[in-house]
Amino acid sequence: MNSSKIIGMGFYVPDNVITNEDLSQKIDTSDEWIQTRSGIKERRWASEEITTFDLAHKASLNAISNAGIDPQDIDMIIVGTLSSDYFFPGVSAQLQESLNLNTIGAFDIKAACSAFIYSLSIADQFIKTGMAKNILVVGAEAQTKLIDKSTKGRDIAVLFGDGAGAAIIQKTNDKSFILSTHLHCEGKNIKNLWMEAPGTSPGSWFENNNFVPERFTPAMNGREVFKNAVKRFPEVINEALVYNKLSIKDIKLIIPHQANFRISQAVANRMNVDMNIVYSNIHKYGNTTAASIPIALTEAIEEGRIIKGDHIILAAFGAGYTWASAAIKW
């Protein structure tokens, strides 16, 4: 059976930097309050004219350049996002057209913060079965256009940012490859982290002919999300270790979804590992949902934190609830 490897990474974030001090001018909050609860110092917010597609397109071009391939070699596109430009079709169709990739398969995955690992897993399967040779996998979000940026929406407004990260996945016979991926979901918790509208369930668009703004903005039960995240992250990381007969001591770097620095600390404590092997860049970008892991992975590579032969683990937890991990030999 074929194996797949990541041969190129790239990311792109909007130029518009929003600091905690900026938020405190609009929302009843403070830099100390935000940093204490999340570890975030600043984030990027897409301006009105910048869309999720725009971010995905630039991240994709960076990944293609980093991989050193001709874009025409790409034979599939998978995009993870919950903030696509349109209700339908997906960002993947826009990317297919903008990259001039003639009628290749392209589709979106809506698994929130776990979407990049879900997409990576799907790409891995397509390559293993010989159905594709070079796949563009993207995580992209311009989700801050959806959030309530008033004091009422403070718990979400201070956490989230926009951006995109992309990877080129290629068939390989090399010793560097994706070892395994592990995907999970627990749908009974969907209302703890969700956005009800737009949708097709009763009342999820207009109710009694009245527009209800709260249905069209994300809502989160922070306490429940935190409690479940610190449980599922270690579980799914250990699942990857056991499956591949690895010890945590074999892992050079864990790259978790950048949800909250306190979650990363709690996971490190539960796994009895030092925080220096748990990568974090949340202080710069906030929670960029599907874009979080590919942005972090790209920066870790650029910083020299990962070199050939290293074992790394990607891990995510998010709405759905969904959670996932990927073990990779670099």
Out of 113, 134, 182, 228, the active site residue is 113
Query: Rounded to an integer, what distance in angstroms lies between the CA atom of residue 144 and that of residue 47?
Result: 10
Query: Peptide bond preceding 89: is omega within 30 degrees of 0, i.e. cis?
Result: yes
Whether 185 is a known active-site residue: answer no
Q: Are 136 and 164 in contact (CB under 8 A)?
A: no
**What one-character DSSP code corresponds to residue 217?**
S
Q: Are 327 and 310 in contact (CB under 8 A)?
A: no
Q: Are 253 and 305 in contact (CB under 8 A)?
A: yes
Q: Are 115 and 81 in contact (CB under 8 A)?
A: yes
Categorise residue 16: left if φ over 0, alpha if ψ from -120 to 50, beta otherwise: beta
Out of 134, 257, 260, 311, the active site residue is 257
Out of 62, 260, 287, 311, the active site residue is 287
Query: Peptide bond preceding 198: is omega within 30 degrees of 0, i.e. cis?
Result: yes
Which residues have a catalytic role annotated? 113, 257, 287
